[in-house]
Amino acid sequence: MSIIVSCNRGHNASTTLLVDGEVIFYLEEERLTRFKRDGTPLMGLAKVFDFVDYIDELVICHTHREGPQSDWTGEDIYKSWIRKLSRGKFEFNVTCIDTIHHQMHAACGFVHSGFDTAACVIADGAGSFLQSDAYDGCTLFEFETIFKAKKPLTFEQVYKHLGTDKSVGFNLVDEDTGTYVTEHPGIVKAYEAVTRYCGFQSIDAGKLMGLSPYGKPNPKLPPIIRDGFVNRDLFMPNYPNGAYIICDRYPGMFSVDEESSQRGKQKGEYSENQKDLAYAIQEASEIYIGDLIQKAVDITRKKKLLLLFSLLLL
Ligand SMILES: [Fe+2]
């Protein structure tokens, strides 16, 4: 018998128990802790032992390796937690999936698609944190990736937009894999910034999408996309989590302060400006992702597409 436990560490943390390839449970941590979007899936990992008394493999998924350690032993907290729960009665392997976040998104879609081959389009606020010797050794984040996927399971990267908050401009770093490094955030960061400006949490993409039909085209708003990239005059990314509208650059236009933003959240009252910006980001996202899909079709010549987006709804 093969018993695999996998967990997602970040927001909306979750745990899955697989026995001989069958999902016994998939559970978000918030269901056990009653704390919305809870991370660090300790309760989910403990739940595993309601069903089995040993595991063969622990898979830990996130966008980077850094995380809490056990006191005294210095072990990774999740490995340590399983060891403690097991009272040392069994050995288990540990696999970390954290440097291929976008490939993981692609695999989740492709494996379950039933397709033999497809193009996979992924967009994220900040996927895996990748270290680079270039650009003064700063961390690069995955924003948008296109893979050509086929069975047996292989993923050929044909496009990747990586970025950083450093002023690095625009760089084609590998023509073969279509890898670019820029100082421009991806569209998801712009979506997060507007979500926050409208009084929601950065990851409340669904609430912003719900607000967007109440807005209207407003030509006074600065462009969200400029020359094919997210407008850095308007948006300040905050890697890895969240982003902001640079309100001070546009005096009199973005005057919604934290207090009135919270009031809107509580009473369902939103300014015309908030509603129009929600409309604008929704429209801009559809155009931006539409262009990305067209790029995927042009490069891969595939007719079957899998679209996998984090914190963005179209
Ligand atoms: Fe993601």
Could you tell me the distance, in angstroms and rounded to a whole number, from the CA of residue 219 to the centre of ligand 1? 32
C-alpha of residue 226 to centroid of ligand 1, in Å: 24
Distance from the CA of 212 to the center of ligand 1, in angstroms? 23
* Displacement of CA 44 from its chain's centroid (Å): 21
- What is the tens place of the pLDDT at every residue in 260-292? 656 556 667 888 999 999 999 999 999 999 999
- From the list 245, 227, 148, 241, the residue with the least C-alpha distance to 190 is 245
**Domain ranges, ordered by start, for the chain:** 3-97, 113-314
**Residue 262: its pLDDT value, please?**
60
Q: Which two tokens stand for residue 300?
A: 């891969």
pLDDT at 217 over 90: yes
Gap from CA of 107 to ligand 1 centroid (Å): 12
Whether 207 has a pLDDT exceeding 70, the answer reads yes
Q: Who contacts 11 (Cβ-Cβ below 8 Å, separation ≥6)?
A: 37, 39, 203
Reported confidence tier of residue 42, pLDDT bands at 50, 70, 90: very high
Sequence-ordered list of residues with C-beta below 8 angstroms from that of 207, at least 6 positions apart, any chain: 195, 198, 200
Expressed in angstroms and rounded, the spacing between residue 16 Cα and the centre of ligand 1 is: 17
Q: Domain 113-314, CATH 3.40.50.1970 — does that match?
A: no
pLDDT at 269: 83
In the reported structure, the alpha carbon of residue 308 is separated from the centroid of ligand 1 by a whole-number distance in angstroms of 8
> How far does residue 53's CA lie from ligand 1's centre (Å)?
32
pLDDT tops 60 at residue 258? no
Q: How far is the CA of 119 from the centre of ligand 1 (A)?
A: 17
Tell me, in angstroms, the distance from the centre of ligand 1 to residue 260's CA: 31
DSSP string, the chain: --EEEEEE-STT-EEEEEETTEEEEEEEHHHHH--TT--S-HHHHHHGGGT-S--SEEEEE-S-S---B-TTT--BHHHHHHHHHHTT-S--EEEEE-S-HHHHHHHHHHHTT--SEEEEEEE-SS-SEEE-SSGGG-EEEEEEEEEEEETTTEEEEEEEEEE-SS---EEEEETTTTEEEESS--HHHHHHHHHHHTTS-TT-HHHHHHHGGG----TTSPPSEETTEE-TTTEEE-SSS-EEE-GGGSTTT----HHHHHHHHHHT---HHHHHHHHHHHHHHHHHHHHHHHHHHHHH--S-EEEEESS---
CA of 72 to the centre of ligand 1 (A): 33
pTM of the predicted model as reported, rounded to 2 decimal places: 0.90
Question: Above 60 in pLDDT, residue 28?
Answer: yes
pLDDT at 5: 98
The encoded tokens of residue 150 equal: 């086929």
pLDDT of residue 260: 61
Ligand 1 geometric centre to CA of 190 (Å): 15
Centre of ligand 1 from the C-alpha of residue 101, in Å: 6
Which residue carries 């009252």 as its tokens?
A: 269
- Does this chain's domain 3-97 share its CATH topology with 113-314? yes
Q: Give per-residue pLDDT as tens, 156-198.
A: 999 999 999 888 999 999 999 999 999 999 999 999 999 999 9
Place of tokens 């509603």: 275
Residue 9 in this model has a pLDDT that exceeds 60:
yes
Q: Which of residues 313 and 288 earns the better pLDDT score?
A: 288
Say how many Å lie between the CA of residue 311 and the centre of ligand 1.
Answer: 8
The alpha carbon of 102 and the centre of ligand 1 are apart by a number of angstroms equal to 7
Ligand 1 centre to CA of 142 (Å) is 9
* Identity at 215, one-letter amino acid code: G
CATH class of 3-97: alpha beta
| CA 156 to centroid of ligand 1, rounded, Å | 18
Residue 259: pLDDT over 60: no
Tens digit of each residue's pLDDT (9 = 90 or more) over 77-129: 999 999 999 998 999 999 999 999 999 999 999 999 999 999 999 999 999 99
Of the chain, the percentage scoring pLDDT greater than 90 comes to 81
Rounded to the nearest angstrom, the distance between the alpha carbon of 62 and the centre of ligand 1 is 9
Kindly indicate the confidence band of residue 214, based on its pLDDT and cuts at 50, 70 and 90. very high
**308 pLDDT more than 90:** no
pLDDT of residue 265: 62
Q: Do the Cβ atoms of 13 and 29 come closer than 8 Å?
A: yes
Query: What is the Å distance from ligand 1's center to 81 Cα?
Result: 25
**Residue 105 alpha carbon to ligand 1 centre in Å:** 7
CA dist 121 and 296 (Å) reads 7
